[in-house]
């Protein structure tokens, strides 16, 4: 059993990762400030409700990674073996509106964590970055060797800065760090403003949806279970400093996504077209050769199966709310 600190562990990916780590026999120390865009305290609490009573394998610490007095608690009170760093201010559009907040959390918070890892000799860290670091690169699919020096949003810039700081601390203090770049993650518990969750809810309720652009922009949608699998594999092969894409490597257009949702809900979408928003990339498409060769990563959940799983989860959740 390893003691694993998971920052942002009550969030979308973090809660799924925590469940998997517990299932594999590890002990998870979750540090989360229970904030987030359109995320209520109750929402995050429900994410971890099945783990909170498992005192042997789960501990919750409520705190902000910008505040060292909270962040150092797990390092002082637990013998941390491994750190998964997922805590961040997310969202391209919100980062355009409040770049300073994103910089403080995503850069200063990451540096705080790296300093504590160095001070307490925690050598093993997996940093969850973002596919947004690639910007609108014309060379597709994006490989880890593709230049990632033209971010389109403050959020993307802070994630690339986080990767750079991870490299610095690897060189200075010998930390073994893998930076994971997930591509457009979706699934149960995802944030309400994300495309799939927003589209499913609105189409189901007969509300108009908004498409930014002409519907032809493509995204490499990746089911959350595949992302968690990539993180688990990173844990097993973490040595030195590496960057890996974790994705389905099968991008589809926004129009195709909407058709697949309509097909599963047996409802037709009402669509309002608007101009592309500042900071949004035209396309994302991952080359996962490196992750496949070095980690043994292979995505298992197709977009068709993933959407079916998500919509089943959403409908069961809505029915439960209606019954209650």
Residue 113 domain-assigned?
yes
DSSP 270-289: EEEEEPPPTT--SB--B--H
Q: Which domain holds residue 73?
A: 3-187+222-248+285-300
Please report which residue ranges of the chain form alpha helices under DSSP H.
12-23, 41-47, 68-71, 73-77, 92-97, 99-103, 109-119, 154-173, 195-204, 224-236, 254-265, 289-295, 303-323
Whether pTM > 0.85 for this model: the answer is yes
Is residue 266 domain-resident? no
Per DSSP, 105 falls in state I
What's the confidence (pLDDT) of residue 136? 87
The predicted structure's pLDDT at residue 191: 85
Residue 117 falls within a domain, yes or no? yes
Which pLDDT does position 139 carry in this prediction?
82
Residues of the chain with pLDDT under 50: 37-41, 322, 324
**CATH number for the domain including 93?**
3.40.50.720
Q: What pLDDT was estimated at residue 137?
A: 83
Catalytic residue annotation: 155
Query: Domain for residue 196, yes or no?
Result: no
> Can you give the pLDDT at residue 248?
97
Inside any domain, residue 212 = no
Q: Does some domain include residue 318?
A: no
Q: In this predicted structure, what is the pLDDT of residue 280? A: 75
**For position 55, what pLDDT does the model report?**
81
In a domain, 60, yes or no: yes
Residue 202 lies in a domain: no
- Please count the structural domains in the chain: 1
Distance CA 279, CA 95 (A): 9
Q: Which token pair is 212?
A: 């930014």
């Amino acid at each position: 059993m390893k003691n694993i600190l998971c920052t942002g562990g009550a969030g979308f990916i973090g809660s799924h990762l925590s469940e998997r780590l517990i299932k594999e026999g590890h002990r998870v120390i979750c540090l989360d400030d229970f904030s987030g865009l359109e995320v209520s305290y109750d929402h995050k609490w429900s994410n971890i409700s099945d783990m909170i009573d498992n005192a042997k394998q789960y501990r919750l610490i409520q705190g902000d990674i910008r505040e060292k007095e909270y962040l150092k608690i797990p390092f002082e009170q637990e013998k941390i073996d491994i750190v998964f760093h997922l805590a961040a201010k997310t969202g391209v559009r919100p980062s355009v509106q409040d770049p300073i907040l994103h910089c403080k959390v995503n850069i200063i918070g990451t540096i705080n964590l790296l300093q504590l890892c160095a001070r307490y000799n925690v050598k093993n860290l997996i940093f969850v970055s973002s596919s947004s670091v690639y910007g609108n690169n014309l060379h597709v699919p994006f490989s880890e060797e593709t230049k990632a020096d033209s971010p389109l949003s403050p959020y993307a810039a802070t994630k690339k800065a986080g990767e750079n700081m991870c490299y610095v601390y690897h060189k200075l203090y010998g930390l073994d760090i893998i930076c994971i770049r997930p591509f457009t993650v979706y699934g149960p518990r995802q944030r309400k403003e994300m495309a799939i969750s927003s589209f499913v809810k609105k189409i189901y309720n007969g509300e108009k949806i908004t498409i930014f652009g002409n519907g032809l922009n493509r995204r490499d949608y990746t089911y959350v279970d595949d992302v968690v699998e990539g993180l688990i594999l990173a844990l097993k092969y973490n040595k030195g400093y590496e960057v890996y894409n974790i994705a389905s490597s099968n991008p589809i257009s926004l129009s195709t996504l909407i058709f697949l949702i309509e097909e599963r809900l047996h409802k037709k979408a009402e669509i309002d077209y608007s101009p592309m928003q500042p900071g949004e990339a035209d396309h994302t498409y991952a080359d996962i050769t490196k992750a496949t060769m070095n980690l043994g990563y292979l995505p298992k959940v197709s977009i068709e199966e993933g959407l079916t799983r998500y919509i089943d989860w959403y409908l069961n959740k809505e029915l439960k709310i209606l019954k209650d």
